[in-house]
């Protein structure tokens, strides 16, 4: 057996085990009773260790070197070999006992977070979150030592290859400087327009669920290869053959669940559109979570807030929610969907203030990992940062540091992906409409075919062959370009067609 063939078999096993763990993790977040946390933590820990050991064996470096000395002739296979080494570097840096300990700790902490968030009780979460932070710091130290990176850069690199504090800090500094006056201008324009017409509920959950399913199907979500359920925190997970989405419902606000479903469906379409022949190989995976977030935001923030789609949504919502079309006319729906405000909850934030929420978390998680911020001081630090950067001060931890699941699950370094995704989505949507002008008229009929095809041709089908910047350069002519996001916001909210 050639070295490369052996590597393929090991990575096939790795992905099967990892996807099994991901499915159990999905069950834990969406369906599992709270009292089952210890058992599920043990199951997840065992599976993640087995997945880790499949590609972190002592002979892996020798196999990689042998395969690289006589690389495959097929370009996909060669790119797969490059991706194999990258995956191995991350895996081999962390000992199996640390993998298991962190998996058990994050599983237990995620379950505890649900109760703590519900009860606004940070103190009850503190011991478990402290353990997660400590173990995640150890993972970052182990990877950083192997990769010659800082703790934060080593962790962020797992989610967005090449992401570094040195490039993220100036990006966020610019957005922190330029977004607040832009938000002020948008708020002033909204104030001049007066109050938005009220969308009167209640909107029954079962009707919202039917509307969400309808929209997911219109987008191209294949319910024979996935499902939609309910959880505390909306998310998408699983694998191409078994994609799991969740949302949450509020009877007073159907837009929250609808846009949540559209967001997660964007993630799901990416997973379902990845090259099937490479499903269980590194080159068949996404190159980074920034690009993954771009696909959800391409659908939710870019396409679904156009006047064309909102016109379609007004009619569909009136039908599925069984309310008068006069209440859900385009103007009312548009002004709610495009409302900008300084608010507490990240996942419900508008696209103009959203990056400010990410800056809060970027700064805090770096301080937690470096030890400059003690976990016990997280609530007050979060409140202070929200007041300084977003412009609002949470009164409760439920609206503050307890609102996100990322830190309880150990996902330190993930948050920058959201802003990378927002910038990339702005670039991709502009390029898509320029390349396929019919996209807007299709959206007015609730038809995502043109946009989905563009996304598949320019992003999905490439799998992990190219990094985020390369995919953006090929699709839009430029690498990651924050001007695209700022230009989009000025055009959409201030009618500034000349803005840059």
8 A C-beta contact, residue 229 and residue 246 = yes
Residue 387 known to be catalytic? no
Per the annotation, does 488 bind a ligand? no
Per the annotation, does 460 bind a ligand? no
Catalytic residue selected from 160, 264, 271, 365: 264
End-to-end CA separation in angstroms for the chain: 56
Sheet with 235-239, strands from edge to edge, namely 226-230, 242-247, 235-239
| Helices 354-370 and 416-435, packing angle to 10 deg | 150
For residue 2, give the nearest of 65, 67, 78 by alpha carbon: 67
Rounded Cα gap, residues 229 and 488, in angstroms: 32
Give the residue carrying structure tokens 């990651």. 480
Spell out where 432-485 has E strands. none
Give the SS3 label for residue 222: coil
Please spell the DSSP secondary structure of 80-125, one letter per residue.
HHHHHHHHHHHHHTS-HHHHHHHHHHHHHHHHHHHHHHHHT-HHHH
Question: For residue 161, is it left (φ>0), alpha (ψ between -120 and 50) or beta?
Answer: beta
Paired tokens of 193: 């327009």
Phi, psi angle pair for 49, to nearest 5°: -65, -45
Q: What is the 3-state secondary structure (H, E, C) of 335-390?
A: HHHCCCCCCCCHHHCCCCCHHHHHHHHHHHHHHHHHCCCCHHHHHHHHHHHHHHHH
8 A C-beta contact, residue 99 and residue 48 = yes
Per the annotation, does 267 bind a ligand? yes
Rounded Cα gap, residues 333 and 219, in angstroms: 20
Strand partners, 368: none
List the catalytic residues: 264
- Which residues belong to the annotated binding site? 263, 267, 293
Q: Which residues are annotated as a binding site for Zn(2+)?
A: 263, 267, 293
């Amino acid at each position: 057996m050639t070295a490369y063939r052996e590597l393929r078999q090991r990575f096939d096993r790795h992905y099967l085990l990892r996807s099994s763990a991901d499915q159990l993790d999905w069950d834990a977040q969406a369906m599992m009773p709270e009292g089952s946390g210890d058992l599920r933590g043990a199951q997840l820990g065992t599976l993640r260790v087995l997945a880790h050991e499949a590609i972190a064996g002592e002979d892996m470096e020798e196999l990689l070197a042998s395969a690289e000395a006589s690389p495959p002739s097929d370009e996909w296979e060669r790119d797969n070999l490059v991706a194999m080494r990258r995956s191995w570097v991350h895996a081999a840096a962390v000992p199996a006992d640390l993998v298991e300990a962190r998996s058990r700790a994050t599983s237990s902490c995620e379950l505890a977070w649900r109760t703590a968030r519900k009860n606004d009780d940070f103190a009850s979460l503190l011991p478990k979150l402290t353990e997660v932070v400590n173990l995640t710091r150890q993972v970052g130290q182990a990877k950083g030592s192997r990769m010659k990176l800082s703790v934060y850069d080593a962790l962020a690199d797992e989610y967005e290859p090449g992401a570094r504090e040195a490039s993220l800090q100036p990006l966020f500094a610019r957005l922190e400087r330029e977004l607040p006056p832009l938000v002020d201008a948008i708020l002033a324009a909204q104030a001049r327009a007066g109050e938005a017409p009220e969308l009167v509920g209640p909107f029954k959950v079962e009707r919202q669920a039917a509307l969400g399913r309808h929209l997911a199907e219109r987008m191209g979500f294949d319910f024979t290869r996935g499902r939609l359920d309910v959880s505390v925190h909306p998310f998408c997970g699983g694998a191409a053959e078994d994609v799991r989405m969740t949302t949450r419902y509020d009877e007073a606000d159907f837009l929250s669940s609808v846009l949540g479903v559209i967001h997660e469906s964007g993630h799901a379409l990416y997973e379902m559109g990845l090259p099937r022949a490479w499903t269980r190989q590194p080159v068949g995976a996404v190159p980074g979570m920034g690009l993954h977030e771009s696909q959800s935001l391409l659908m939710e923030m870019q396409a679904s807030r156009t006047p064309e789609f909102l016109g379609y949504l007004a009619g569909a919502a009136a039908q599925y929610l069984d309310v008068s079309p006069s209440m859900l006319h385009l103007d009312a729906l548009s002004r709610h969907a495009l409302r900008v405000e300084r608010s507490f909850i990240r996942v419900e934030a508008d696209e103009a203030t959203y990056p400010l929420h990410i800056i809060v978390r970027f700064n805090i998680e770096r301080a937690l990992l470096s030890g400059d911020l003690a976990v016990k001081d997280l609530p007050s630090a979060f409140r202070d940062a929200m007041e300084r950067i977003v412009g609002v001060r949470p009164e409760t931890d439920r609206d503050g540091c307890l609102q996100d699941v990322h830190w309880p699950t150990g996902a330190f370094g993930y948050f920058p992906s959201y802003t990378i995704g927002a910038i990339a989505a702005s670039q991709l949507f502009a390029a898509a409409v320029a390349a396929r002008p019919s996209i807007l008229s299709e959206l007015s009929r609730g038809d995502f075919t043109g946009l989905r095809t563009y996304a598949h041709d320019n992003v999905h089908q490439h799998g992990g062959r190219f990094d985020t910047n390369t995919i953006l350069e090929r699709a839009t002519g430029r690498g990651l370009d924050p001007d695209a996001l700022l230009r989009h916001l000025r055009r959409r909210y201030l009618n500034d067609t000349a803005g840059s």
